Structure 1
Amino acid sequence: MLSILRETTPLSEKDCFMVFTREKTDFDFPVHVHPEYELNFIENAKGAQRIMGDSIEEIEDIELALITSSNLEHGWMNHRCVPGTIIKEITIQFHPNLLNDQLLNRNQFRTIQNMFAKAAYGISFSETAIEQIKTKIYDLAADNDGFYSVMKLIELLYELSHDTAARMLSSRSFHAEKQQFNSRRVERIIQFLMENYTREVTLGDVSDLVGMTAVSVSRFLKLRTGRSFVDTLNDIRLGHASRRLIDTTHSVAEIALQSGFNNLSNFNRIFLKKKGCTPSDFRNKYRASKFFL
């Protein structure tokens, strides 16, 4: 298994959070991990590439992402960003216990708690939400009053937690964090698929598992997760395949079979549709950005 850079940040135990403001012309920091939660704002870097777990996407002119896992690989690369462009980046890092469980379990903080759970896989916020809070990010970066800046950060997180268009980025099966669905049936289905993704699994198997008709299970999954049964199963298989592409030297054909795809061309087609690149291109892009220890 290939190692990855573990960043040591200057955030001390006595600080609530730290803000780093940079103007630069390129992205020169490799894919990395760190224990602190991170909210990263980027402006004027259209065409740059964001890597978040097994998600590799080209970003637009304005970007805001949240990471709340100590083991989620992430980073930004130059990719097709115009050389010489002045890029604005504001990074906010804070301790995972800044808002402890007792506080997050209160009704008023429940949306932030849900957002933090999703951000274990990386979250990309919508352009609409970013434009609405952009001035608050700049204000926070310029604020020298420690106490009120903490209040501003909490307010910022609260507003972002209401962005219904925010997207989870990394696959559940690529990044080993247990996601809560607030539904025992959904969690039971996901757990079953995670344990059986390498074999042929049908909607009938799942309907028998939870005591529902196949039609009801399909609608239920779509309502609770936003994904159909087939998409859910494929996402789990692709997550495992992506991890194997990065961490092993097995051939693409071997990895397809190990991940539950019995047909190589079908695997390549689904991978290209979901990831925007072929399995071989994904492996090359990811490895080129990693820091080998």
Structure 2
Amino acid sequence: MKPAYEHVEFGDQCSVRVYHRRLPRIPFEWHRHPEYELTLTMNSHGKRYIGDTVTRYEADDLVLVPPDLPHTWASNRSIDAKEPQVAIVVWFDGEWARRLADCCPEYAPLRKLLRRAACGLAFDAAAGAAMRARLDALLAEAPRTRLAATLEILCALAEAPGTPLASPSAFGARESGPSGYEPERLNRVLAMIDAQFAQPLRLADLCSAAGLSERTLARQFAQHIGESVGRYLTRVRLGHACRLLADTSLPVSVIATRSGFASVAHFNRQFKAAKGTTPVEWRGQYAGERATMEAAPRLTERSPSLAPRTARQRSNKRPRRAGPA
């Protein structure tokens, strides 16, 4: 199912956009956009779809989604039925965040956070509670106050425990190729993996392409990617396998071969270790989820924050807590 494109309006002379969303339930809106998105979901239970992952979420769910990775949340019930479900959404451009990290040592953690978030990051409940404690500043009337609160939250999250979500190649997450912010030699390795993951790849071949020793390449991966070469390669292959399972009726044995696994047995072991289920079970589950997705409203007219200008002008006459940031 093709994700809808969401245009995020920041407002004049603003660096971040903060959206305070309150509604009876969070609808399924499968979409993508070129900005980073930090979303805190409160008083809600349901499922979170990030790239090729489907995960149940609960209170104070905090996730950072990278640019152009399809995603959505869909709630099934409120924690407190008397209160609305709430999503605090913060959109920002990674370009200015990196430039700020380059020129201000105080914001160097931003660079680390964006590297960690290449496939999306889900933070623990403690991080969600910490962000909730800063909501007064994050939802303040003054754009500068909201920006300052956003920077403090992002820097804190750079050191917070986080779980990677989508596979590196999930649903176009790496269509633009290597980011250009890792060292150039590492970019060569990432490009080689993306192009040749379905073939046997030896560590010696990757080292040769980068002109690095095995020890140096391992250190570069740990520093800039956050995992080993072997684990990254496996996640790329599993991401490709997930796309084939979701979009084709090919036999699992064929998918295993086309995704770079030496045998079906090895593929099944790796898949279950990563996804907690077998490829056949995952395909059945995803088929059911997809039927629900296609029956749900598509993302055509998002929320009031992204409504046409005339509609926004009418809605601006009503009091609200926070405007565009």
Q: Shared fold by TM > 0.5?
A: yes
Length-normalised TM-score, structure 2: 0.72
Of 89, 93, 99, 2:90 maps to 93
Of 47, 58, 80, 2:56 maps to 58
Contact conserved, 1:72 with 1:120, CA < 8 A, in 2? no
Distance 1:58 1:158, change over 3 A: same
Identity %: 24
Distance 1:154 1:196, change over 3 A: same
Distance 1:292 1:90, change over 3 A: closer
Distance 1:271 1:17, change over 3 A: same
Q: What is the alpha-carbon distance in structure 1 between the residues aligned to residue 271 and residue 77 of structure 2?
A: 22
1:284 alignment counterpart: 287
Structure 2 matches for 1:194-213, cutoff 5 A?
194-206=194-206
Cα deviation for residue 282 of structure 1 reads: 5.2
Q: What is the alpha-carbon distance in structure 1 between the residues aligned to residue 234 and residue 289 of structure 2?
A: 21
1:222-266 alpha-carbon deviations (Å, 9 max, x no partner): 744453444222111011222333444544443222111242343
Q: Which amino acid aligns with 2:168?
A: R
Cα deviation for residue 135 of structure 1 reads: 0.9
Cα deviation for residue 92 of structure 1 reads: 2.7
Length-normalised TM-score, structure 1: 0.79
1:109 alignment counterpart: 107
Contact conserved, 1:221 with 1:228, CA < 8 A, in 2? no
Q: What is the alpha-carbon distance in structure 2 between the residues aligned to residue 189 and residue 97 of structure 1?
A: 23
Q: Which amino acid aligns with 1:27?
A: I
Q: Which amino acid aligns with 1:135?
A: A
1:76 alignment counterpart: 73
Contact conserved, 1:41 with 1:91, CA < 8 A, in 2? yes
1:270 alignment counterpart: 270
Structure 1 residue 21 corresponds to structure 2 residue 24: no
What are structure 1's unaligned runs of at least 5 residues?
Answer: none
SS of 2:37's partner is strand
2:168 alignment counterpart: 172
2:119 alignment counterpart: 121
2:243 alignment counterpart: 243
Q: What is the alpha-carbon distance in structure 1 between the residues aligned to residue 111 and residue 284 of structure 2?
A: 36
Structure 2 matches for 1:212-251, cutoff 5 A?
216=215, 220=219, 223-224=222-223, 225-251=225-251
Contact conserved, 1:43 with 1:61, CA < 8 A, in 2? yes
What are structure 2's unaligned runs of at least 5 residues?
Answer: 301-325
Q: What is the alpha-carbon distance in structure 2 between the residues aligned to residue 256 and residue 65 of structure 1?
A: 30
1:256 alignment counterpart: 256
Q: Which amino acid aligns with 1:68?
A: P
Contact conserved, 2:17 with 2:92, CA < 8 A, in 1? no
Q: What is the alpha-carbon distance in structure 2 between the residues aligned to residue 13 and residue 241 of structure 1?
A: 43
Of 132, 143, 158, 1:146 maps to 143
1:31 alignment counterpart: 30
Q: What is the alpha-carbon distance in structure 2 between the residues aligned to residue 269 and residue 79 of structure 1?
A: 32
Q: What is the alpha-carbon distance in structure 2 between the residues aligned to residue 229 and residue 256 of structure 1?
A: 20
Distance 1:228 1:9, change over 3 A: closer
Contact conserved, 2:271 with 2:277, CA < 8 A, in 1? yes
Aligned residues: 287
Q: What is the alpha-carbon distance in structure 1 between the residues aligned to residue 131 and residue 90 of structure 2?
A: 17
Contact conserved, 2:35 with 2:94, CA < 8 A, in 1? no
SS of 1:18's partner is strand
RMSD after superposition: 3.5
Q: What is the alpha-carbon distance in structure 2 between the residues aligned to residue 242 and residue 150 of structure 1?
A: 38
Please, which moves more after superposition, 180-189 or 22-31?
180-189
1:4 alignment counterpart: 3
Cα deviation for residue 112 of structure 1 reads: 1.0
Contact conserved, 1:45 with 1:81, CA < 8 A, in 2? yes
SS of 1:19's partner is strand
Cα deviation for residue 213 of structure 1 reads: 7.3
Q: What is the alpha-carbon distance in structure 1 between the residues aligned to residue 183 and residue 202 of structure 2?
A: 21
Contact conserved, 1:180 with 1:187, CA < 8 A, in 2? yes
Please, which moves more after superposition, 77-86 or 111-120?
77-86
Q: What is the alpha-carbon distance in structure 2 between the residues aligned to residue 186 and residue 97 of structure 1?
A: 20
Cα deviation for residue 105 of structure 1 reads: 1.6
Structure 1 residue 43 corresponds to structure 2 residue 42: yes
Q: What is the alpha-carbon distance in structure 1 between the residues aligned to residue 288 and residue 113 of structure 2?
A: 29
Cα deviation for residue 205 of structure 1 reads: 4.1
Distance 1:85 1:237, change over 3 A: farther
Distance 1:99 1:285, change over 3 A: farther
